[in-house]
Structure 1
Amino acid sequence: MSYTLLLRHCGQLLTLAGPTAARPLAGPAQASWAVIPDGYVACSGARIVALGPMAELDETQVTPATRVVDAAGRVVLPGLVECHTHLVFGGNRAAEFQRKLQGETYLDILASGGGILSTVRATRAAPEAELLDNALHHLTGFRRYGVTTLEAKSGYGLEAETELRLLRVAREAGRRQPVRVVPTFLGAHVPGPEYRGRPAEYLQMLVQDVLPQLNPVEVPFVDIFCEEGAFSVAESRDFLTRAQQLGFGLKIHAEQLHELGGCEMAAALGAVSLDHADYLTPEAAARIADQTQGHTVAVLLPLVPLFLRQERYAPGRAFIDAGLPVAVSTDFNPGSCPSKNLWLALSMACLKMGLTPREALAAVTINAAWAIGQQRECGSLAPGKRADLLVLDVATAEEIPYWLGENPVRHVIIGGELLEDKA
């Protein structure tokens, strides 16, 4: 089988392949994945078929039809996996940013009808075509940052019709461009405004009127925000249990602002990821790692406290030391993180959460893939996986978080096709 695409002379080929493919990288393994100096990656169609040192390249498989990309000593790694975004929404909250800078708190803005309620109003009012155009615009931006697979949560409809529309838009956006989109149902973001003060009734409506309309093959995960002002641990447990009985995988927003126990509850149910976790203690992280045998991933979102000007960041260093696998994401959304720059999130995870550069790279590739059930397809480089690859304008992995806020991407390859080229 001749090669259709060959990346050669990769100064550092970051495979992100650890000691086992059976679970996310955790503990020391999160930093001990393989690097091949002066390497190559060969693809046939949409799949990787071979990789290794240049000295082992089978030149007989390189034909005049092979597209050859010379990395010229640069870093090559898997496409980034963005495992926590709120991709589809109407409007923006730029005016509220100014109010925050002038001293108003989130609760002040919420009380005046702003915050998530303003996004819900804008999203409900937006035509479906407008929501789709916005989502496609954002996906183009993500792709330029090297994101090749992305999770897209609903959650700004907060009623049955609009929540279903948001999932429909996310799936259509995935079909219309190359970045692969994994939809997640987050109707349980907060109670809809019509259910103010009645969170249990709102969740019951979602169970009765929305979940039965979803196909777990098309929308594989159900999420909930377990936090004061949203849903309690008991309410979240009941809702997630019902979703699990219907065949959905589980995720949770928990321990963002308070230590309530939502992460441990969701882990006990087999949740694939525990997101935010700023108030998750190292002791609880160790219990989760032991209970789940390292299969549940903590998804850390360092750009959120940065944008909200908060002091507390998740203790990522302690999580890794406790054996809990860690992923990193932006949490792209209009309220608490209007940024698609996953490279900046990676740097902030090093600066504020204690991750090393190698740990942070695993956190935005293979562990992020595990956090959205895509580990068999992407997140590391191995024969048989999708040919989602990046060539960066740096010579070493350690440089990546050092260039704060820069986009190091030179080439983006998705499914064996060269899509972004800065050359």
Structure 2
Amino acid sequence: MLQPYSLLFCHAAQVLTLAGGPTDKPLTGAAHADWRIIEHGYVACLGDTIAAVGPMDELDAARIGPDTRVVDASGRVLMPGLVECHTHLVFGGNRADEFQRKLQGESYLDILASGGGILSTVRKTRAAAEEELLQSALHHLDGFRRYGITTLEAKSGYGLDAETELRLLRVAQQAGAQQPVRVVPTFLGAHVPGPEYKGRPADYLAMLAADVLPQLDPAAVPFVDIFCEEGAFSVDDSRHYLQRARELGFGLKIHAEQLHDLGGCLMAAELGAVSVDHCDYLTPEGAAQVAAASQGRTVAVLLPLVPLYLRQEKYAPGRQFIEAGLPVALSTDFNPGSCPSKNLWLALQVACLKMGLTPREALAAVTLNAAWAIGQQANCGSLAPGKRADLLLLGVPDYRELPYWLGENPVEQVVIGGQFV
């Protein structure tokens, strides 16, 4: 006799399964929107795992026991937990004092020259006690959870020296263990050269490769990232660093084509990078090259709130990326400088407005494709038997309302691993 369900959501107006596409690579092309929606459906869980998903007329009532928690989802949407695939979770302080300076016309370079910008955050982060950083990370994770994020990538990158960068990764892991949102750490020591290495980016990367990467366990910190951009690291220096990271067993990521089209995305895809992030200046032709080089396995993580917050006009051409065969994910890029926002729903909405994504494509980009972008596709991102029971109950009856109600948080209930949180 089959075991009774532990949790059952029933009578949902729509169940957004995100299932039905390929299982061996991210959603590409038309598959971004060609996933199954079940009208008047249910999702059943057994412990921390999804046990069954389907229309109500296929529900096995014999598996509803006296201890089954039954939730009536009438008139509402059920969907997978959101996957936040690009954040800079752990940092000291904030840069609210610079916001008005930006509004008054000071450029980022002017602020940087006066000791602000990323250097300000580096100073505050280096000076912060580990417990202070941990409490800040836990505070932010609580905010992410309220938006329905159930899995989150956390980059280092605001220490820019060996000791602090290792501390940031340690804090991210501690924060992941102390609350329900699952945290996937990424090493971004190569954010920009540390202030002690001003004008010597290759020397800084050599220090990271020699002194930090060997101390990291790819099982605990699965990805190494680098910012390939003018003023940060060149394509050639980035290639050599990523090659060394790959030799040590790490998955690869890159910040590239944010401000200039340097070719970093294609270089990283040729090395087998799991994602290329930002991509505002990646052309549709370049996107097709990235897709071909990776056979559709490298995900373009687009960050629409960054140009919005920085008051820039250039947004990644997401519509053309999809048409070029490049899988697309979306993220906030939560950080203290260019996107102090945890609202992934707003990122989804801006992607529809400014990048040309349809509602169904954008939903795939914050769930299944985002899971692929951080190597979590076997665990989360869709509602399918055997996956972790990460679910959201939304206060709307139709998925098309999700990008429509601008800036609103539709989340009514969050389930992570079969538990309400």
TM-score where L is the length of structure 1 = 0.99
2:334–2:342 Cα contact (<8 Å) kept? yes
Matches of 1:81 and 1:46, distance apart in 2: 17
Residue matched to 2:160: 158
Aligned to 1:111: 113
Which residue is 1:134 aligned to? 136
For the pair 1:226 / 2:228, whether they are aligned, the reply is yes
Q: Distance in 1 between matches of 2:213 and 2:293?
A: 28
Does the 8 Å contact 1:27/1:323 carry over to 2? yes
Q: Which amino acid aligns with 1:241?
A: Q
Residue 21 of structure 1 and its aligned partner are, at CA, apart by 1.0
2:403 partner SS: helix
Contact 1:93 1:334 (C-alpha < 8 Å) held by counterparts: yes
Task: Name 1:90's counterpart in structure 2.
Answer: 92
CA distance in 2, matches of 1:133, 1:291: 42
The one of 17, 30, 50 aligned to 1:28: 30
1:362 alignment partner in structure 2: 364
Pick the aligned partner of 1:398 from 394, 397, 400. Answer: 400
Offset, 1:64:
1.3
Partner of 2:324: 322
> Retained in 2: the 8 A contact 1:80–1:379?
yes
Q: CA deviation at 1:292?
A: 1.2
Q: CA deviation at 1:19?
A: 2.4
In 2: Cα distance, 1:21 partner to 1:66 partner = 31
In structure 1, the residue matched to 2:355 is 353
The aligned counterpart of 1:192 is 194
- Matched AA of 1:27: G
Please state whether the residue corresponding to 2:341 is helix, strand or coil.
Answer: coil
Q: What's the CA shift for 1:48?
A: 0.3
Deviation at 1:18, TM superposition (A): 3.1
- Correspondent of 1:342 among 341, 344, 355: 344
For 1:255, the equivalent position in structure 2 comes to 257
1:123 alignment partner AA? T
Residue 410 of structure 1 aligns with which residue? 412
What CA distance in whole angstroms lies between the structure 2 residues aligned with 1:245 and 1:205? 16
Which residue identity lines up with residue 184 of structure 1 in the other structure?
T
State the secondary structure of the residue aligned to 1:123: helix
Write the distance in 2 (CA, Å) between the matches of 1:364 and 1:49.
23
Q: How many residues align?
A: 419
CA deviation map 1:284-317 (0-9, x unaligned): 1111112211111000000000000000000000
Task: Report the TM-score, using the length of structure 2 for normalisation.
Answer: 0.99
Q: Does 1:7 align with 2:9?
A: yes
Residues 294 and 325 in structure 1, CA contact (< 8 A), matched pair in contact too: yes
Q: Using the alignment, how far apart are the partners of 1:59 and 1:109 within structure 2?
A: 63
2:48 paired residue number: 46
1:88 and 1:166 in contact (8 A); partners too: yes
Which of 69, 78, 81 is equivalent to 1:79? 81
Q: Which runs of 5+ in 1 are unaligned?
A: none
CA deviation digits over 1:184-227, x for unaligned, max 9?
A: 00000000000000000000000010000000000000000000
- Equivalent of residue 284 in structure 1, options 273, 283, 286: 286
Deviations 1:94-119 (A, max 9, x none): 00001000100000000001000000
Deviations along 1:131-159, whole A, 9 cap, x unmatched?
Answer: 00000000000000000000000000000
| Aligned-partner Cα distance in 2 for 1:64–1:102 | 63
Contact 2:266 2:293 in 1 (8 A): no
Q: Which whole-Å CA distance do the structure 1 matches of 2:391 and 2:273 have between them?
A: 28
Give, in whole Å, the separation in 2 of the partners of 1:414 and 1:70. 18
Secondary structure of the corresponding residue to residue 212 of structure 1: helix
- Distance in structure 1 (CA, Å) of the matches to 2:22 and 2:272: 20
RMSD of equivalent CA atoms? 0.5
Q: One-letter code of the match for 1:280?
A: L
Aligned to 1:205: 207
Deviation at 1:73, TM superposition (A): 2.2
